[in-house]
A and B are shown apart, each in its own frame.
Chain A
């Protein structure tokens, strides 16, 4: 074996393909992927759900065999020598298998036994890991009783119990609160520096790409590129601007820019719109080219972000495969004209499960035509709040009114005024698109010509017409989510509840989704949305930030960012605000 071949590569994939059968369809999870990962650094595997990240990681852990091509881990063939690979590799699956009935210490003991860590070496390693993860005070606690972030840190500690040469982490930060996320990153970098460990980490959060030293971009099983994140971002230097409309509100401005020629991306950030253009230009050129007659705009050039390049590459790829339909945006009928009236009123809402208070002292109001967000990590109490508002769960205390009623006790006519899109795909997977729409139309008591009209409208507006006879469960995730939204809009509700509507979908689909939501809000529909994506909070008119069942802050996104993180930071992000709120909350709790 040549000495040089080993030292500069910890992982090599050569022309690797892997397909799965789903029903009677074959899905290409990986399509002729070749890549090399260099030692002693953190390499990020970035892509939306369905990009093939998990399959790739399972291949190199020897849990799957490639259909063709070769997977080499630290010079070993991962397929044939999987036991030897597993002895030197640390792999943390997406849902790390902690035994919830076992305590923190017992989980550590188990993995120390399985990894063959000698008894004499354990005390030192345990205390090091516990200190690093901040779990030292909780060693006696059952793993099932830990918070999401703590579970994830314990999973990482178990994986690191015998320092592996290559650490493979599959979406370690999904659904974890921003504080724990930051801590996880610190632990990973600590390992790279102290042990010289090589790390491959996958994530669907694009903002995390900038924390990696090198990035591998994937989409639908295909490798889009591999480079340093800065180099990816630099490609679009001079293409990125923050734009403010003098006479247009941000939503109309975003919608107009999204449809303009020469625009790669336009998203709402606070009270402005972030614009990425196809060509590099200066601020004056942007103002001239995109300022419409009667609605001038001011533009400020900003530094490109990793996400900009990702969107750019995705659009390019779709264009090459002829799928870049500049998605049509729905035109909903106007449901109300009068604004300002309070549609949702929540006062001192509380929900207990046994002695556990999932939601405490929650109060907020939502006005007609507003997009209102509940932002928080998994376990913050968002879904519980949501179920109470929709009338699916009775409140333990406090009052809540949706369109003047408590939906838990209201009759079905009151419920007909709301639309609900659940977190998980909740349509009938075995039925076709059209059958689902017919069923949901009937469920909302639409009949005859009216139902036909509405079905025609949603099929057309959501571009589902060509897919009308496709069985729903075989649709790609983005289309499923579009169908779910379509079903929730069949009966033209005045109020729309969206529970984590975009989790897992790719950034293009997420953008398109929010354009639909913006159009609905413009037509007077009130939208209540839960999310754990910090950047999605930017789309909301107002929001509350929740943690452990409590409201930490509420207000407009711009104001929240300024209030919480203003000092010292020039351009605070929603995540900075969130972290500042959490830490001041913890200080208050401790005091």
Chain B
């Protein structure tokens, strides 16, 4: 009577994978999460969100115009950071600041040229709108930059010995164009993949519980390994498709340079994809409705990936406790890998250390899932 029962059969696994693929193809929401959402997020972040300040509206107030002040004004006009407007009096300029028409005022007072030439230095009045502290600091720096360049040029041209505070020569490594997009977009790819892997996987498992299909599956000779693999394989392929799309958009649409190799990128992505799918399956062992699964996926995986992975906010400047928390967010490791591969190249020390962490997390999750999954009803 007792029959030998195999835990693995290629026919059963093939059947499950084919079923899952047909569901993916026919259900617009899976395709939406895997392809539409990445495109949408990348477009929003690629075009909409920028941490750079450009074309800042500033008011230039010159109490007594002369050739010297005109050359400083044209220095501001030539800068790509500023869109200056000349305003005759400081009162009007302050008024414009109050109405948020300008973010800063540069005020050259009566006697500016005379003092500069006679005493070798003259004060410049700078007022910056400090509501957005980050932007204010950028504006302050940019104004200082224009001022210094102008001073240096004037002193060289006229052979004067002007007080140029310090002569600084900048070289920016790894992101020479200093475009925030170049590091935001790779980080975003990690966030998108978290969403595809965790949310999609946990929701499709919950859907099987909701619709009663899981109960029908459970009473067939299918083994729990086949059920799990039947979910992992199709969503891995789908997720890697979403990944490929995101990388292509990053390179071809947003012109983010890819310094490292595609092989390294692929290897790290595959490992991370598997980890996020494992997170999704883990959520689905607890959540039995699509609603709960979706909410949990957002709170437990998406938001941490967004906030704590170092994708936007620098981990080094977080409090120690929060820094500890970032260590258990898989996206943290993947963001580090992605940013190094895109901006610096294949840095193997970074690559292997972070991949090792990902592999450990993935393995732990898979073991827990195996322990918690039974062919039993809850």
Residues of A within 8 A of B (CB): 1, 6, 58, 61-65, 74-76, 81-84, 86-89, 91-102, 106, 109-116, 142, 155, 158
Residue B120 lies at the interface, judged by CB distance under 8 Å to chain A: no
Q: 15 other contacts beyond A63-B377, A86-B375, A155-B216, with CB at 8 A cut-off?
A: A83-B221, A83-B223, A89-B219, A93-B216, A96-B216, A97-B211, A97-B212, A101-B22, A106-B22, A110-B16, A110-B18, A113-B16, A114-B15, A114-B217, A115-B220
Q: Does B161 contact A (CB under 8 A)?
A: no
Bound complex: CA A89 to CA B19 (Å): 22
User: Which residues from chain A contact B94 at a C-beta distance below 8 Å?
Assistant: none
Cα A202 to Cα B352 in complex, Å, equals 59
Given A97-B214, A101-B27, A110-B19, are A116 and B221 also a contact pair (CB < 8 Å)? Answer: yes
Considering the complex, give the chain A residue whose CB is closest to the CB of B5.
Answer: A83
- Do B3 and A84 touch (CB < 8 A)? yes
A462 nearest CB across to chain B (Å): 33
- From B6-14, B124-132, B262-270, B332-340, the one touching the partner chain is B6-14
Asked whether B376 is an interface residue with its Cβ less than 8 Å from the other chain, the reply is yes
Q: Is the Cβ of A98 less than 8 Å from the Cβ of B215?
A: no
Q: Looking at the complex, which one of A84, A89, A97, A110 makes contact with B2 (CB distance below 8 Å)? A: A84
Given A86-B221, A97-B208, A113-B11, CB of A106 within 8 Å of CB of B376: no
Chain A: CB-nearest residue to B2: A84
Which of A1, A95, A101 meets B212, CB within 8 Å? A95
Given A106-B22, A114-B220, A76-B213 contact (CB < 8 Å): no
In the complex, what's the smallest C-beta–C-beta distance from A439 to chain B, in angstroms?
25
**B223: nearest residue on chain A (CB-CB)?**
A83
Q: Are B219 and A61 in contact, with the CB atoms below 8 A?
A: yes
Complex formed: what's the CA distance from A98 to B217 in Å? 10
| Contact status A81-B221, CB under 8 Å | no
Q: Within 8 Å CB of B14, what residues of A?
A: 113
Q: Quote the shortest CB–CB distance from B81 to chain A (angstroms).
A: 53
A166 to chain B, nearest CB (A): 12
Give the interface residue-count category, chain B: 20 to 34
Which chain B residues in 308-346 approach chain A with CB under 8 Å?
A: none
| A110 CB contacts on chain B under 8 angstroms | 15-16, 18-19
A-chain residues with CB within 8 Å of residue B5 when the two chains form the complex: 83-84, 87
B residues apposed to A, CB below 8 Å: 1-3, 5, 9, 11-12, 14-16, 18-19, 22-23, 26-27, 208, 211-223, 375-377
Give B168 Cβ to nearest chain A Cβ, in Å.
63
Residue of A nearest to B375 (CB): A82
Is A114 a contact partner of B212 (Cβ separation < 8 A)?
Answer: no
Bound CA–CA A100/B11 (angstroms): 22
Contact A74 to B208, CB < 8 A, known contacts A64-B376, A97-B214, A113-B12: no
Complex Cα distance A158/B15, Å?
14
Bound: A86/B219 CA distance, A: 5
Q: Which of A6, A65, A86, A97 contacts B213 (CB 8 A)?
A: A97
One of A65, A87, A91, A99 near B3 (C-beta < 8 A): A87
Residue contact A116 to B375, C-beta cutoff 8 Å: no
Q: Which residue from chain A places its CB closest to the CB of B213 in the assembled complex?
A: A97
30 A-B pairs in the complex with CB atoms less than 8 angstroms apart = A6-B1, A63-B375, A63-B377, A74-B1, A75-B1, A82-B375, A83-B223, A86-B218, A86-B220, A87-B5, A91-B216, A91-B219, A93-B212, A94-B212, A97-B208, A97-B215, A98-B213, A99-B23, A102-B19, A106-B18, A106-B22, A109-B15, A113-B11, A113-B12, A113-B16, A114-B12, A114-B15, A114-B220, A115-B220, A116-B221
Which residues of B are found within 8 Å of A116, using beta-carbon distances?
9, 11-12, 221
> Which residue, of B11, B16, B220, B375, has the highest number of chain A Cβ atoms within 10 A?
B220
Minimal Cβ-Cβ distance residue in A for B215: A93
What are the residues of chain A within 8 A of B3 when measuring CB–CB? Answer: 84, 87-88
Of all chain B residues, which has the CB nearest A94?
A: B212
Residue of A nearest to B217 (CB): A97
Q: For residue A65, which residues in chain B have a CB less than 8 angstroms away from its CB?
A: 376
A95 lies within 8 A of B211 (CB): yes
* A537→B299 CA distance, assembly (Å): 51
Residues of chain B lying within 8 A (CB to CB) of residue A93: 212, 215-216, 219
**A96 with B212: CB separation less than 8 A:** yes
CB-CB under 8 A from B208, the residues of chain A are 97
Q: Which residues of B contact A6 (CB under 8 A)?
A: 1
Give chain B residues whose Cβ lies under 8 Å from the Cβ of A89: 219
Report Cα–Cα, A112/B12, bound state, in Å.
9
Whether B220 and A97, one on each chain, are in contact in the complex, defined by CB atoms closer than 8 angstroms, is no
Asked if residues B220 and A64 are in contact (CB atoms below 8 Å), the reply is no
Cα distance A114–B208 when bound, in Å? 16
Instruction: Determine whether the beta carbon of A64 is less than 8 Å from that of B377.
Output: yes
Q: How far is the CB of A464 from chain B (nearest CB, A)?
A: 31
Across-interface contacts of B222 in A (CB, < 8 A) = 114
CA distance A3 to B15 in the complex (A): 38
A86 vs B377: C-alpha distance when bound (angstroms): 14
Q: Which residue of B lies closest to A113 (CB)?
A: B15
Complexed CA–CA distance, A227 and B378 (Å): 33
| C-alpha spacing A99/B214, complex, angstroms | 10
* Contact between chains at B26 and A101 (CB < 8 Å): yes
Contact B26 A81 (CB under 8 A): no
Q: A58-B377, A101-B22, A106-B22 are in contact. Are A63 and B1 (CB under 8 A)?
A: no
Complex alpha-carbon distance, A16 and B149, angstroms: 90
Q: Please, which residues of chain B bring their CB within 8 A of the CB of A63?
A: 215, 218-219, 375-377
Is the CB–CB distance between A62 and B375 below 8 Å?
yes
| Cα separation A441 to B18 with both chains bound (whole Å) | 55
Contacts of A88 in B (CB 8 A): 3
In the complex, chain A residues whose CB is within 8 Å of the CB of B16: 110, 113-114
Residue of A nearest to B376 (CB): A63
Contacts of B27 in A (CB 8 A): 101
* Chain B residues with CB below 8 A from A81, complex form: 2
List the 4 closest A-B pairs by CB distance, nearest first: A113-B15, A97-B213, A97-B216, A95-B212
Residue in chain A with minimal CB distance to B25: A101
Residues of A close to B212: CB separation below 8 A: 93-97
Q: Given the complex of chains A and B, what is the CA–CA distance between A142 and B19 in angstroms? A: 13
Please, which residues of chain B bring their CB within 8 A of the CB of A115?
220-221
How many Å lie between the Cα of A84 and that of B377 in the bound state?
18
- CB of B2 within 8 A of CB of A76, answer yes
Q: How close is B292's CB to chain A, nearest CB, in angstroms? A: 17
Within the assembled complex, what's the spacing in Å between the Cα atoms of A67 and B27? 41
Minimum C-beta distance from A253 to chain B (A):
44
C-alpha spacing A455/B106, complex, angstroms: 76
| Chain B nearest Cβ from A64, distance in angstroms | 6
- Taking CB atoms, residues of chain A closer than 8 Å to B213 are 97-99
Q: In the bound complex, what is the Cα–Cα distance between A91 and B377 (angstroms)?
A: 14
In the complex, what distance in Å separates the CA atom of A102 from the CA atom of B15? 12
Most buried by A among B212, B214, B219, B375: B219
The distance from the CB of B30 to the nearest CB of chain A, in whole angstroms, is 10
Nearest B residue to A102, CB-CB? B22
**Residue ID in chain B nearest A168 by CB atoms:** B219
Considering the chains assembled together, what is the distance between the CA atoms of A356 and B185 in angstroms? 45
Shortest beta-carbon distance from B375 to chain A in Å? 7
Q: Which residue of A lies closest to B1 (CB)?
A: A75
Chain A residue at minimal CB-CB distance from B220: A114
Give the chain B neighbours of A64 by CB distance below 8 A.
376-377
Provide the residues of chain A in CB contact with B11, threshold 8 Å. 113, 116
> B215 — which chain A residues lie within 8 A by C-beta?
63, 93, 97
Q: Would you call A102 and B23 a contact (CB within 8 A)? A: yes
Task: Answer whether A99 and B9 are a contact pair too, CB < 8 Å, given A63-B219, A63-B375, A111-B220.
Answer: no
Whether A87 lies near B221 (C-beta < 8 A) is yes
Bound Cα distance from A94 to B15, whole angstroms: 23
A434 CB, min distance to chain B CBs, angstroms: 30
Distance (whole angstroms) from the CB of A113 to the closest CB of chain B: 3
* A584 vs B213: C-alpha distance when bound (angstroms): 36
**A62: chain B residues within 8 A (beta carbon):** 219, 375
Bound-complex Cα distance A239 to B288 (A) = 50
- What distance in Å separates the Cβ of A340 from its nearest Cβ neighbour in chain B? 48
B140 to chain A, nearest CB (A): 56
Interface centre among B19, B216, B222 (most CB of A within 10 A): B216
